[in-house]
Amino acid sequence: MQKNIVGVVMGSDSDWEVMRKAVDILTEFNIATEVRIISAHRTPHEAATYASSAQERGLAAIVAGAGRAAHLPGVLASYTLLPVIGVPISGGPLSGTDALYAMVQMPPGVPVATMAIDGALNAGLFAASIIAGTDPAVANALNAYRDNMAAKVRQKDALLQQQLGRC
Ligand code: RP5
């Protein structure tokens, strides 16, 4: 059985444009993904079946994105002990704040690790961090990713100092 798969689940195809960022970064780290559209409200039975069988399919974590009254991550979390990472999706009259509050305000007992509104990239990175604890190749990839980010910041700082004539 394949292990360390990340489930990337979204409530609607309209969430895909945001959620693909999680899939892209996980793919960059050679982490397999299982990508599904499952709705807590429109397909509740699939949500229950998906989450309750996730561990036996080899999933290490679930990234769940949804907008509006976004119950998907909480519902999935209630059916599995796997870490569930919620991504509130923007859109609708409340611009994603509704989804953010729905995810971050989970009542005590069944936690969801909530990212920023549309924070699918960080959700992918967070899932990779979970896997990095047991997979040195993923840990190396994450370290390289951070080194690369740091190099870019230093480069921008050097450029700014140059423009200001302070170097
Ligand atoms: C949520 O409602 C979905 O996650 C999506 O963000 C939002 C709107 O869904 P659609 O009407 O675009 O299918 O359940």
Which pLDDT score is estimated for 167? 77
**Is residue 5 pLDDT above 80, yes or no?**
yes
> Could you tell me if the CB of 14 is within 6 A of ligand 1?
yes
Ligand 1 atom nearest residue 39's Cα: 14
pTM: 0.96
Determine whether the shortest distance from the Cβ of 49 to ligand 1 is under 6 A.
Answer: no
Res 2 pLDDT > 90: no
Distance CA 86, CA 100 (A): 9
Mean pLDDT for the chain overall: 97
Distance 15 CA to ligand 1 centre (A): 7
Task: Please give the pLDDT value at position 50.
Answer: 98
Between CA 140 and CA 145, with CA 143 as vertex, the angle to 5 degrees is: 110
pLDDT at 1 over 90: no
Q: Does ligand 1 lie within 6 Å of residue 89's CB atom?
A: yes
How many residues are recorded in the chain?
Answer: 167
Q: What is the largest CA-CA distance in the chain?
A: 63
pLDDT in tens, 8-42: 999 999 999 999 999 999 999 999 999 999 999 99
What average pLDDT does this structure show over 126-130? 98
Provide the pLDDT for residue 60: 98
Closest to 73 in 3D by CA, of 28, 115, 31, 136 = 115
31 phi/psi in degrees, rounded to 5: -100, 125
Closest CA to 11 of 35, 37, 36, 33: 37
